[in-house]
A and B are shown apart, each in its own frame.
Chain A
Amino acid sequence: MQSVAAIETVFRQERARVLATTIRVTNGDFDLAEEIVQEAFAAALTRWPTEGTPAEPRAWLISVARNKAIDTIRRRVKLRAIVAAEDPVDTADPAELVAVPDDRLRLIFTCCHPALAPEAQVALTLRTLGGLTTEEIARAFLSAPATMAQRLVRAKSKIKEARIPYEVPEASQLAERTDAAMAVVYLVFNEGYAATAGDAWFRRDLCSEAIRLGRLLVELTGDPEAKGLLALMLLHDSRRDARTDAAGDLVLLEDQDHASWDRAQIEEALALVPDALRPANRPGPGPYSLQAAIAALHASAPRAGETDWPQIAALFGELMRRHPSPVIALNHAVAIAMWRGPAAACR
């Protein structure tokens, strides 16, 4: 016997994975898949308390969702009597279906497809992979629920009508498309981290959600730059309690109490940085990894006065060489000023 609360925990953990596989079975029909996953969870709520929880809850949910998907598609085909117009149903054996690597990776790449507008990529990623409701996403981005709902409807409709593939991109495009997925995750993080308006609770949730998605990217792609992104987010987020004072005003990095930083999170991030800085799949460390290395040096300083500025200046120099921007140039100059004085920075 399992309590409703325990079953709900299973849903939260497994929802994205079950949904990702169901979308594949429905040939990329996001709406139908969402509906079916909801039904599969409803079935679990009625059956698990009496029949007992299956040994493998995920496999059970995926197989129930798959059968419902196939039934629905067959019914539709019969209804229309145009068998040829409907794509063939995935008839893979259920065991095989559950054993496939991980459909969440397809889901990430489809949600973060460059043919979708950036704000739609973000909304769709939070909705499908994050399991956030439309209202929650609207609240986090300070937009009307109706606007957000329409954005999601349009994005899902474009995936279906323009046939955006539900696939992991081929090797030649993988790095570029992973960059696009990382950009979405970092956008979610920054929305939670940088903005001052809106519901504070939801903003912190967005940071945690971005970190969760970052972990997923690392787990599924193993891309060193994804490790850099995860480390960067963990390091920024480790200072969440030190960033504001009791009155809610911003505290600058040099005035922060280093003791209130989240040490466990910093340790996790520091362990990721060496890998991130030595990517085998790219010509050199990417922008997230270099920024993570800089944040790591800040996080490793026991006090503000003991920050390793020469090293930080060198990393900003590298960042400037590979990914130049006015903000990086300014930060580079500041790091040199902290190290060798303002006169050197102006040169």
Chain B
Amino acid sequence: MQYLLLIYDNEKVWADMSPEESGKLFGEYMQFSKEIRESGHFIAGEALQQVHTATTVRSRNGKTTTTDGPFAETREQLGGFYMINAKDLDEATAIAARIPSAKIGSIEVRPIQAFEQPAAMK
């Protein structure tokens, strides 16, 4: 069973950290990624550029609009993700709790929806 772990934290908290503090947290991320690769849970995982670099695209009635943003006034922003394999939700949440940002932000755990492939496409 696959889960996407979405990492939300406050970019300002990161920006306000001393180099020692952010270096320590970064080290914890390296260690965590190494551990879940070795345990076989890891499928993918990346950090994202800051939210001010984001662009939002919408297609309506054949017309595409591209805007800067999102400008959601939320305290926490999507900052990265891990895609993992876990046997059930309890295992997935236990792994999510070990993500270093769980201490300063929050992790959203989303099961991946499996679509059955139509026979013709196989």
Contacts and interface: CB of A to CB of B under 8 A. Distances in A.
Interface of A: 80, 82, 85, 113, 115, 161-165, 167, 169
Nearest to A159: B89
Interface in B40-78: none
Contacts of B114: 85
A111 to B, nearest CB: 14
Contact of B1 (A82, A163, A167): A163
A161 B111 contact: yes
B116 A162 contact: no
B116 A80 contact: yes
Chain B, interface size: which category? Answer: 10 to 19
A115 B87 CA distance: 16
B88 interface: yes
A80 B118 CA distance: 10
A115 B116 contact: no
Contact of A165 (B90, B109, B111, B116): B90
In the A-B complex, the 5 residue pairs with the smallest Cβ-Cβ separation, listed nearest first, are A165-B88, A162-B111, A163-B88, A164-B89, A162-B89
B93 interface: yes
A167 B109 CA distance: 20
A79 to B, nearest CB: 11
Given A85-B116, A161-B111, A162-B111, 7 more contacts: A115-B93, A162-B89, A162-B109, A163-B89, A164-B90, A165-B87, A169-B90
Nearest to A82: B116
A164 B88 CA distance: 6
B113 interface: yes
- Residue from the set B90, B113, B114 with the largest chain A CB neighbour count within 10 Å: B90
Interface string B86-122: 0111100100000000000000010101101000000
20 contacts: A80-B116, A85-B114, A113-B89, A115-B93, A161-B111, A161-B113, A162-B109, A162-B111, A163-B1, A163-B87, A163-B88, A163-B89, A163-B111, A164-B88, A164-B90, A165-B87, A165-B88, A165-B89, A165-B90, A169-B90
Contacts of B89: 113, 115, 162-165
A82 B115 CA distance: 12
A82 B113 CA distance: 17
Contacts of B116: 80, 82, 85
B3 to A, nearest CB: 8
- Residue from the set B89, B109, B113 with the largest chain A CB neighbour count within 10 Å: B89
Contacts of A161: 111, 113
A68 to B, nearest CB: 24
Contacts of A162: 89, 109, 111
A164 B116 CA distance: 21
Contacts of B88: 163-165
Nearest to B111: A162
B117 to A, nearest CB: 9
B84 to A, nearest CB: 13
A113 B90 CA distance: 10
Contacts of A164: 88-90
Contacts of B1: 163
Contacts of A80: 116
A115 B94 CA distance: 12
A82 B88 CA distance: 21
A172 to B, nearest CB: 10
B23 to A, nearest CB: 32
Nearest to B117: A82
A191 B88 CA distance: 32
Contacts of A115: 89, 93
Contacts of B87: 163, 165
A80 B119 CA distance: 10
A169 B90 CA distance: 9
Nearest to A113: B89
Nearest to A114: B93
Nearest to A163: B88
A99 B87 CA distance: 26
Nearest to A161: B111
Nearest to A170: B90
